[in-house]
Amino acid sequence: MKMKKKRKESEASGWSSNLPEISKSHHSLERRSRLNKRCREDRGVATVPPSRGASLLLTPSRGLKRKIGCIDKATQMGRSMRIEDDYVTGGSAIGQGKFGSVTVCRARANGAEHACKTLRKGEETVHREVEIMQHVSGHPGVVTLEAVYEDDERWHLVMELCSGGRLVDRMKEGPCSEHVAAGVLKEVMLVVKYCHDMGVVHRDIKPENVLLTGSGKIKLADFGLAIRISEGQNLTGVAGSPAYVAPEVLSGRYSEKVDIWSSGVLLHALLVGGLPFKGDSPEAVFEEIKNVKLDFQTGVWESISKPARDLVGRMLTRDVSARIAADEVLRHPWILFYTERTLKMLPFKSKLKLQNAAASAPESGLGGNKIDDDGSLDEDYSSPFSSSESCNSENHEDCVWIDALSTAVSRVRISETKRTKLWGPTTTSPLDQQGSSNMKTNLCKAF
């Protein structure tokens, strides 16, 4: 039996208020999952990072070999105790799924609040989620797994409580400015790169699974569909959320680059406030994912800078070999232009809804439902959702000017004839004369 876990429908409907439609798509996905239940994952032996004492003679790879399912002793310690011994449970509900729930619990030792994810036993993916969370926990961009307890019927995962809510709730306020979108994508891609380096594919990147701390830092959560992958390994089995699933997943064989596609869909939604692939049913969405040619040149995209459009296109290409990897996304000129330390990162506009009252949030309600499966941040880096900076009109004007400048510069074209008339055939252009200018480094090269 395979596990399908998702947040309660009322929360997952951030993309659409049409609850009956979401419920309908949920059942359709479940039926589709049963039909695909025979699909096989290449499990066998996966890898973990080598310890510091590992031999230097080891062949470079994604780490030392370890069989899937191993739980570290630090996690096993809690399994001999009851969760009630260490935590006060039964707090307010955060989320509810088919196989479990997430509630607030409080540590008896110091009164600190945590999130407690309770999952029913008997599901293969439950144990895999525990093992993978143990494996990747510790990165500042991953929700921290504090402890794991079990009783006769359930697993209890005690995790960091992200009091800032979900990214999808922020996105309801309308499209983000480019510098905010770049900041969000950078933080997400730092975690994705880390997971890929650790031999883990998340397979469910979407705004519902991107959480915010009280200080506005971004955390990737929900590893229920995550799976280990070895170097050069191909995965099989349909897994993901309809609007965010990569086309190769539907074809049956894929790699870690499915996370890049899903992140590209997320970037699309951040920039224009809508999903690229829509439909009245999961099947209709899948057909669009496989066949619709995306246009980043007309309509709403005319107000988006060319570098931003270039990055979205590179992430949403169906040619897997041409799709860029996580480290390439982080090195893209558009990301560097908006997130380098020389450029002030402006905060998310909490009152963006008032300024964009006519803007609509992503339209498809299918993004929040799952298909059942059968590098750290710089210390000086400021989160785009940082609550320490005020959302004043001056910052908003700066945001508008920066985006307008990047859009204008990206469209500048000077023919050779005009260049000769302006500077002469042997004259060095004014830009070339600005030797050590930060403007040349951060702006000219970015475009």
Of 85, 86, 204, 372, which is the active-site residue? 204
Show the beta-strand stretches assigned E in 129-279.
145-150, 154-159, 200-201, 210-212, 218-220, 227-228
DSSP secondary structure string for all residues of 282-308: HHHHHHHHHHPPP--SSGGGGGS-HHH
Q: 396: helix, coil or strand?
A: helix
In the block, which residue shows the tokens 């307008």?
404
Q: Give the single-character DSSP code of 154.
A: E
List the structure tokens of 67: 């069989």
In DSSP terms, 87 is beta-bridged to 107
Q: Are strands 100-107 and 87-88 parallel, antiparallel or unpaired?
A: antiparallel
Q: Give the single-character DSSP code of 219.
A: E
Nearest to 40 by CA among 224, 306, 227: 227
- Rounded Cα distance, 9 and 442, in Å: 44
- Rounded Cα distance, 370 and 224, in Å: 10
DSSP secondary structure string for all residues of 220-235: E---TT-EE--TT--B
Amino acid sitting at position 221: A
Angle at 363 (CA atoms; ends 358, 367), nearest 5 degrees: 145
204 in catalytic set:
yes
In the block, which residue shows the tokens 């057909």?
287
Q: Are strands 145-150 and 154-159 parallel, antiparallel or unpaired?
A: antiparallel
- Rounded Cα distance, 90 and 72, in Å: 27
Query: 181 and 352 in contact (C-beta within 8 Å)?
Result: no
Secondary-structure breakdown of the chain: helix, strand, coil percentages, each rounded to the nearest 5: 40, 15, 45
Query: 146 and 114 in contact (C-beta within 8 Å)?
Result: yes
- Rounded Cα distance, 28 and 24, in Å: 6
Q: Are strands 154-159 and 93-96 parallel, antiparallel or unpaired?
A: unpaired
Residues marked active site are found at 204
